[in-house]
Amino acid sequence: MSRAIAIETSGRIGSIALVDNGTIVEEQFEHGLQHAAQIVPILDRLCRSRSWGPRDLEHLFISAGPGSFTGLRIGVTLAKTLAFATGVKLVAVPTVRVLAENAQANPLTNPRHLVIVLDAKRDQIFTARFEREGEDWTEREPAHLDTLAAMLERSPRPVTLLGEGIPFHQKFVPADPAIVISPPETWRARAAAVAKIGMDMASRGEFADPYRLTPIYIRRPEAEEKRESQSP
């Protein structure tokens, strides 16, 4: 029997999912430092609902980024702490792949080409580009820092845009009917999708070393870059 937890803290709304032999139960919470204390009680409540003890978990799936620097630190630190304390196996799931799952679940748009749009400030985005092959997404450009204009120049048409950065970068979207903006309800990553992808990765033995696991930041936090620019 598979017992696992999935944690998603990369965006503005966080969520946690419990996986019990293929059944997924998800609960969301407000994101931010002031809400980080909610995560452990939610985990405890979900596990107690199944009468699970700390060492009953087999796998922990963590959304590894890119995304909110603070959120990723909170989620990855918690995942590593649980791995050290209980021995649970970790699976680091790329957040851009988690977001692509939202497009796959939206048959109304049925996109073939997909660009992830996450705000990186300074008119830049954290992004990745996917192409649908059958029922699956193939990553054509891995997660990286770019501009939306440059991504749209390279992407085949029609293309769908998805992600919480869309409102900040919509001014860079030209008037082109072949560029489709996905519905707002698909823009955030969800722990249920982290769980689904994590289970596939675990079945292939794609586990992360808790001693070496770090978030996928793409670039350093803005505070660190400012501090370096001000140093003599």
Q: What angle do CA 53, 59, 61 make, to 5 degrees?
A: 120
Domain of 127 in residue numbering reads as 96-186
Query: Which residues pair with residue 162 across a beta bridge?
Result: 116
Residues 23 and 78 in one domain: yes
Q: The tokens of 32 are what?
A: 């931010």
Residues 76 and 146 in one domain: no
Q: What is the pLDDT of residue 229?
A: 54
Predicted confidence band at 180 (pLDDT cuts at 50, 70, 90)? Answer: very high
Residues 160 and 209 in one domain: no
Residues 107 and 179 in one domain: yes
Residues 58 and 101 in one domain: no
Residues 91 and 109 in one domain: no
Total number of domains constituting the chain: 2
Q: What is the DSSP letter of 12?
A: S
Percent of the chain predicted with pLDDT > 70? 89
Residues 80 and 193 in one domain: yes
Question: H-type helices in 37-180, by residue range?
Answer: 39-49, 69-86, 95-104, 148-154, 166-169
Please write the tens of the pLDDT for every residue from 54-96: 889 999 999 999 999 989 999 999 999 999 999 999 999 999 9
Residues 37 and 103 in one domain: no
Q: What is the pLDDT of residue 30?
A: 76
Q: What is the pLDDT of residue 135?
A: 80
Residues 219 and 151 in one domain: no
Residues 84 and 139 in one domain: no
Residues 102 and 45 in one domain: no
**Which CATH number belongs to the domain containing residue 106 in this structure?**
3.30.420.40
β-pairing, 113-116 with 89-93?
unpaired
Residues 58 and 126 in one domain: no
